[in-house]
C-alpha cells in the first residue's frame, strides 16, 4: 500500500511539473516595454489608423482561414472584430504575432494565393503553418504611432493603399512599402478604442 501511494505521488508531481514547464506550453504572460507603454501578452488591444482614425477590423467578425482584414469605424456593437491579442514569439527581439480576440489560434497573415510575398498583397487570418509572415514587430515613431512590420521582409508593413482607402469602409489592408505615410501607421488603443499614451523609445535597432 505504501509503495502504491509513493507511485501515485510521483505521477501527480510529474503531471503538475509538466503543466508548469515549457513542454506543457504554460508560462506567465510576457510584457514588452516600448518606453511610455507596455504590451502584455494575452491582453486585448485595438489598432487605430493614424490617417483616418478608423480601426483594424476582421471582416464580418470571420473566424476562418482567409478572412480579410480591413478598416472600419469604432464599432462597440460588435467589438470582438476590432480587438486583438499579442503572442510574444521572441521577447529579446520584440517579435510578436497578432490574433483577433475570439480566434486566438489564427493570426494576421499575408494572402499568398497565386504568388509570393510582395507589395499590395492582402492581409487575412490564417492558422499556424510553416510560413513566417505571421512574425511581426511594432516599429515605433517619435509621435507614438507605429508601423506593424514583417520580420522576414524588412521595409514592408501592414497598411492601407492610400489615406482615402484608410477611411473607406471595408477597404482591405495590404502589404505596403514603408514610406512614412500616415495610412501605414497605427495607434495602440485599449480594447474599447481609447488611445494609450506615451512616446516610444528608439526601436530602430530591431525594425
Q: Is 59 exposed, middle or buried (0-12, 13-18, 19+ CB in 10 A)?
A: middle
Phi first, then psi, for residue 93 (nearest 5°) are -110, 15
Q: Once rounded to an integer, what is the mean pLDDT over residues 134-159?
A: 93
Predicted confidence band of residue 136 (pLDDT cuts 50, 70, 90): very high
pTM for the structure as a whole:
0.81
Task: Name the DSSP class of 53.
Answer: -
Predicted confidence band of residue 198 (pLDDT cuts 50, 70, 90): low
| 18 has a pLDDT exceeding 50 | no
Task: Please report where in the chains the cell 480601426 appears, as a residue.
Answer: 55
The closest of 49, 52, 56 to 170, measured between CA atoms, is 56
| 87 has a pLDDT exceeding 60 | yes
Amino acid at each position: 500500500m505504501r509503495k502504491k501511494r509513493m507511485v501515485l505521488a510521483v505521477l501527480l508531481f510529474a503531471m503538475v511539473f509538466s503543466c508548469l514547464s515549457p513542454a506543457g506550453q504554460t508560462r506567465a504572460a510576457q510584457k514588452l516595454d516600448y518606453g511610455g507603454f507596455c504590451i502584455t501578452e494575452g491582453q486585448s488591444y485595438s489598432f487605430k489608423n493614424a490617417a483616418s482614425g478608423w480601426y483594424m477590423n476582421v471582416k464580418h467578425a470571420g473566424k476562418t482561414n482567409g478572412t480579410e482584414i480591413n478598416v472600419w469605424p469604432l464599432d462597440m456593437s460588435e467589438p470582438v472584430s476590432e480587438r486583438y491579442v499579442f503572442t510574444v514569439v521572441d521577447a529579446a527581439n520584440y517579435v510578436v504575432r497578432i490574433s483577433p480576440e475570439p480566434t486566438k489560434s489564427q493570426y494576421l497573415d499575408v494572402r499568398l494565393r497565386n504568388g509570393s510575398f510582395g507589395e499590395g498583397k492582402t492581409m487575412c487570418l490564417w492558422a499556424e503553418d510553416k510560413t513566417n509572415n505571421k512574425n511581426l514587430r511594432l516599429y515605433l515613431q517619435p509621435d507614438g504611432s507605429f508601423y506593424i512590420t514583417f520580420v522576414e521582409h524588412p521595409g514592408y508593413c501592414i497598411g492601407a493603399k492610400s489615406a482615402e482607402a484608410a477611411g473607406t469602409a471595408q477597404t482591405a489592408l495590404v502589404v505596403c512599402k514603408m514610406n512614412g505615410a500616415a495610412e501605414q501607421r497605427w495607434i495602440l488603443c485599449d480594447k474599447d478604442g481609447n488611445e494609450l499614451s506615451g512616446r516610444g523609445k528608439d526601436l530602430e535597432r530591431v525594425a
